[in-house]
Amino acid sequence: MKCNKLISQTLPGWLYESNYEFSELGKIWVVWHPSVKVVIIKKSLQMITCEVLLPDASNWILVSVVYAANTEDLRLNLWQEIEEVSVYNCNRQAPWIVLGDFNQTRHPTEHSTAASQNVDRKTRAFRECLIAAELDDLNYRGNLYTWWNKNLVKPVAKKLDRILVNELWEEAFPSAYGLFGEPDFSDHAACSVILELDSQKRKSPFKFYNFLLQNEEFLPMICYHWFSFNVVGSAMFRLARKLKLLKKEIRAFSRKNYSGIEMRVKEAHEVLISQQAETLADPTPVNAALELEAQRKWLLLVKAEEKFFLQRSRVLWLVNGDCNTAYFHRMVNSRKATNDIHYLITSEGERLESQSGMMNHCIDYFSELLGGPCDPQIMDTPRVPFQSETLDFLSCLGN
């Protein structure tokens, strides 16, 4: 009876579910705003799983909230429940997120005073569960440890709370990340999930993709513009200036021929399928030629797509074989999440997490570092002249 009163006073109009039928303490509460649609799928002592439809979203997601038991035998039941939900989601094919207090570390490094780097039985069982359920940690910001024992003599910290997602979640929310804050009144850090980064547009650096070399028109285009540029100066200056001018032409060529590569591959494949049906229905030389041309265009685009994601994923150890575009795509998202700078700490100890704040801090830092007074000894260092072979090589490149 107190639950209804508490919700009505603190969050009027909101809805909630709990697992009091499994625990007198009500270990888990799931609370949501009426604009969010929630359907409870399964409840137990250690987990509540529900399907969620967010406002303005067209597809449902699967959310599992976890509060694991302190004992190993009960946690084994939780691991089994997670695997069962994974089997259930095989038919649903929904983005799935599992978050909460797992009361179990995944790596020895997640223990502040780990006696050994060996993996014990409890950790191994948790790992096997995550492998079977195809779950992995969502990229997060905040401290590694999320709990400590409040012991002044022998303080111990562990990562017991985590946010796990499946591959479909990473595809649906590529910019999502977890946020672990401070414990405040609890002994566990609060965790939340941010689905989208701030919308400030970032200028991306120039990148050359190898699939451009497959296009028969690319190298003639490069030669035409290279010799048409009228640049005067030293050999090194001409080389650098021409390379810089080529960026614009390469971007325009790539945008014209490969912009939206995934959509182009899909459209080319649909054209090929349609033309194959035409050829089978009416096998004339004209239809045959149209089908072969459609196949040529599709193969050109699909190979470019695979090379594009292969280069971005930097998975260089895979041997040639069937197309691995889907795998490369996942690796690209994984690298993007791993390489993202989540926060910076200034020399004064201020923590910067906004994109604009981090960008301004970097500009100020390097402006001061590179724009400060120069050491006279560096200025007095005699210059080493280029060897004649180097000058000849640069002259050839400039020409």
Write the pLDDT tens digit of every residue in 62-93: 999 999 999 999 999 999 999 999 999 988 88
The amino acid at residue 95 is P
Asked if pLDDT for residue 344 goes beyond 80, the answer is yes
pLDDT of residue 76: 95
pLDDT of residue 107: 92
Asked if pLDDT for residue 395 goes beyond 50, the answer is no
- List, for residues 103-148, the tens digit of each pLDDT value: 999 999 899 887 778 888 999 999 999 999 999 999 888 888 999 8
Number of helices and strands (H, E) in the chain?
Answer: 12, 15
- Alpha-carbon torsion (200, 203, 208, 211), positive or negative: positive
320: Cα within 13 Å, side-chain hemisphere: 2
How are beta strands 61-67 and 47-53 bridged, if at all? antiparallel
Tell me if 34 sits within 8 A of 15, measured CB to CB: yes
Tell me how far apart the alpha carbons of residues 2 and 8 are, in angstroms, rounded to a whole number: 10
pLDDT of residue 101: 95
Within the chain, all domains assigned CATH 3.60.10.10 are found at: 2-194
Range in 182-186, 202-206, 224-228 the model is least confident about: 202-206
Alpha helices (H) in 229-284, listed in sequence order: 235-258, 261-281
Distances (CA, A) of 332 to 315, 319, 323, 338: 10, 18, 15, 10
- Nearest residue to 47 (alpha-carbon basis) of 62, 68, 21, 17: 68
Torsion of Cα atoms, 26 then 22 then 45 then 88, to 10°: -120
Asked if pLDDT for residue 385 goes beyond 50, the answer is no
- List, for residues 11-66, the tens digit of each pLDDT value: 889 999 999 999 888 899 999 999 999 999 999 999 999 999 998 888 999 999 99
Asked if pLDDT for residue 361 goes beyond 80, the answer is yes
pLDDT of residue 383: 45
Helix, strand, or coil (residue 39): strand
> What tokens were used for 360?
């301004």
Q: What is the mean pLDDT of the chain?
A: 82
Confidence of residue 376 (pLDDT cuts 50, 70, 90): low
**Spelled out in words, what is the top-level CATH class assigned to the domain 2-194?**
alpha beta
Three-class SS of 297-309: HHHHHHHHHHHHH
pLDDT of residue 186: 85
CA angle, corner 229, sides to 225 and 235, nearest 5? 115
Tell me if 60 sits within 8 A of 96, measured CB to CB: no
Tell me if 135 sits within 8 A of 95, measured CB to CB: no
Q: State the maximum Cα–Cα separation within the chain, in Å, rounded to a whole number.
A: 90
- List, for residues 225-253, the tens digit of each pLDDT value: 888 888 888 888 888 888 888 888 888 88
- List, for residues 288-341, the tens digit of each pLDDT value: 999 999 998 888 888 777 777 766 655 444 444 445 555 555 665 555 555 667
Tell me how far apart the alpha carbons of residues 246 and 222 are, in angstroms, rounded to a whole number: 8
pLDDT of residue 143: 86
Distances (CA, A) of 32 to 5, 48, 66, 347: 16, 14, 16, 40
Q: Tell which wins on pLDDT, 98 or 339.
A: 98
pLDDT of residue 203: 60
pLDDT of residue 115: 73
pLDDT of residue 63: 96
Tell me if 156 sits within 8 A of 193, measured CB to CB: no
Asked if pLDDT for residue 100 goes beyond 50, the answer is yes
Highest-scoring range by mean pLDDT, 163-177, 190-204, 304-318? 163-177
pLDDT of residue 150: 86
Tell me if 203 sits within 8 A of 247, measured CB to CB: no
User: Mean pLDDT across the stretch 3-9?
Assistant: 87
Tell me how far apart the alpha carbons of residues 277 and 293 are, in angstroms, rounded to a whole number: 14
Strands (E), 71-152: 96-101, 136-137, 140-142, 147-148
Helix, strand, or coil (residue 136): strand
Range in 6-15, 112-121, 273-282 the model is least confident about: 112-121
pLDDT of residue 384: 44
